[in-house]
């Protein structure tokens, strides 16, 4: 199968929409949620009998979801977390997920707003950001696989399950992704407490990406160099900064205020 063949591209697009969750309770919750489409249930063949494993298999069977058995090492390659997978993983099909390259090639438009995250490592923050974006008019979240918190059970819990419905664009490295958006004419706007322009006074034109940085050090130098401009959220009473999830919420609902 050639990398540019229609068959390969179709298969790649499908697997780009998959999210693998692990752990017995998170997997069972996902399988019991009929609003979430599941693809496969993976079980370690070394699992000892347990009631929750019976429930997992029953839930998968009732929904006609394929069940695959693996040795422990193979399952850890699927879950990517051997210490916490408890011998269970589930592939979920998330229609809101897309790959950055595919999005830029086929879906990009000239009037959209996104939030992008630069090294946001706290799972609770990431989950709350996803929840705000899912509930807001924003076009989606740009989320790199490298440098940010992993999409695990902590993120799912903090997002109150909205991770399964939120529009999320995945990329490997944020800087490369932002360069791709800039080449299409998008404006990259960093959140910076030292910026001269207030968020409420910023007049966007065309597609805009608001980039939020790490909880401690803000934007990386590499990402900051890609920004067309910066904005700030003014604060009083000598407060120097806001939690990154709070900042994302303010941006997400800015157009409704």
**Residue ranges of domains in the chain:** 18-93, 97-256
The residues with which 18 forms a beta bridge, in sequence order, are 93
Cα–Cα distance for residue pair 182/178, rounded to 1 Å: 6
The owner of tokens 């199968």 is 1
Burial class (CB in 10 A: 0-12, 13-18, 19+), 203: exposed
For strands 88-93 and 97-99, give the pairing. Answer: unpaired
Cα–Cα distance for residue pair 210/43, rounded to 1 Å: 40
Residues of the chain falling short of pLDDT 70: 1-4, 257
What does pLDDT average to over the chain? Answer: 94
| pLDDT single digits (tens) 7-45 | 877 787 788 889 999 999 999 999 999 999 999 999 999
Cα–Cα distance for residue pair 256/47, rounded to 1 Å: 50
Evaluated on CA atoms 134, 135, 140, 144, the torsion sign reads negative
According to the model, what pLDDT value does residue 51 have? Answer: 98
According to the model, what pLDDT value does residue 86 have? Answer: 97
Say whether 97-256 and 18-93 share the same fold: no
Contact 126, 162 (CB under 8 A): no
According to the model, what pLDDT value does residue 45 have? Answer: 97
Q: At the topology level of CATH, where does 97-256 sit?
A: Alpha/beta knot (3.40.1280)
Q: pTM to 2 decimals?
A: 0.90
**Range 18-93 has CATH code 3.30.1330.30:** yes
């Amino acid at each position: 199968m050639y990398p540019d063949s229609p068959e390969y591209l179709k298969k790649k697009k499908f697997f780009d929409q998959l999210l693998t969750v692990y752990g017995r309770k998170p997997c069972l919750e996902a399988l019991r949620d009929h609003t979430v489409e599941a693809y496969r249930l993976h079980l370690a063949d070394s699992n000892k009998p347990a009631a929750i494993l019976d429930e997992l298999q029953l839930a998968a069977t009732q929904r006609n979801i394929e069940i695959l058995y693996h040795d422990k090492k193979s399952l850890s390659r699927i879950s990517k977390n051997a210490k916490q997978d408890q011998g269970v993983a589930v592939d979920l099909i998330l229609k809101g997920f897309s790959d950055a390259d595919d999005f830029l090639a086929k879906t990009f438009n000239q009037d959209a707003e996104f939030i992008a995250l630069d090294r946001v490592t706290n799972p609770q923050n990431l989950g709350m950001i996803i929840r705000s974006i899912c509930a807001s008019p924003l076009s989606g979240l740009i989320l790199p696989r490298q440098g940010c918190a992993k999409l695990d059970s902590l993120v799912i819990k903090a997002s109150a399950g909205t991770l399964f419905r939120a529009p999320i664009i995945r990329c490997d490295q944020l800087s490369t992704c932002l360069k791709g958006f800039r080449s299409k004419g998008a404006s990259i706007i960093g959140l910076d407490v030292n910026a001269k322009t207030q968020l409420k006074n910023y007049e966007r034109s065309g597609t805009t990406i608001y980039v939020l940085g790490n909880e401690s050090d803000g934007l990386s130098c590499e990402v900051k160099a890609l920004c067309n401009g910066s904005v700030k959220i003014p604060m009083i009473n000598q407060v120097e900064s806001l939690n990154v999830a709070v900042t994302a919420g303010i941006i997400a609902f800015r157009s409704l205020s």
